[in-house]
Amino acid sequence: MTTTSTKPYLLRAFYEWCLDNNQTPHIVAWVNEHTRVPMQYVRDNEIVLNIGTIASHALTMDNEWIHFSARFGGVAHEIWIPIGHVISIFARESGEGMGFEVEPYQTDSEKKGSSALHLVEKEQPETEAEAGSAPEDGGGNNAAKPKKGLKLVK
């Protein structure tokens, strides 16, 4: 029997705790091609997002995705983050929070394409020439693997 991850339940619980205690919930998320966020706010393949009631509109946190709309520099954006990409949730005012391992999202076709995905952290290039030859994703940012919590995903 496959069990459901505890991560989405813990995220929702901490979000509610923040609201009950008049604190502002924020999340840190790992960004890759499955994450829809304004890329100009991404640093080192991570983004920090205010998911409080004033900053986010129509927030939903189900067992697979976090989705909401938010304004960045006055421009509305639809935000989509796989639950597995959430690195942490914390209260801005107190700093209290929880950290999580990154669980890279896979589409159904990616899951069917291989029986297992082995994640290997890429070594840093030694020269600028090597750094310039790194493969890029469609958005012009170098694709990266999660830094923490590397594990075999089936």
DSSP 66-97: EEEEEEETTEEEEEEEEGGGEEEEEETTT--E
What sections of 1-154 are H helices per DSSP?
Answer: 7-20, 108-113, 128-132
Calpha distance 46→39 (Å, rounded)? 10
Q: What is the pLDDT of residue 128?
A: 41
Class of the domain covering 7-103: mainly beta
Torsion 141-146-152-153 (CA) sign? negative
Tell me: the pLDDT tens digits for 46-60? 999 999 999 999 999
pLDDT, tens digit only, all 154 positions of the chain: 788 899 999 999 999 999 999 999 999 999 999 999 999 999 999 999 999 999 999 999 999 999 999 999 999 999 999 999 999 999 999 999 999 999 998 887 777 765 444 444 444 444 444 443 333 343 444 444 444 444 344 4
Q: What is the pLDDT of residue 24?
A: 98
19, 37, 80, 85, 102 from 31: Cα distances, Å: 26, 8, 10, 7, 10
Q: Where are the domains of the chain?
A: 7-103
The structure tokens 């005012």 sit at: 93
- Cβ-contact 32, 59 below 8 angstroms: no
Q: What is the pLDDT of residue 114?
A: 53
Calpha distance 125→140 (Å, rounded)? 18
Calpha distance 7→143 (Å, rounded)? 25
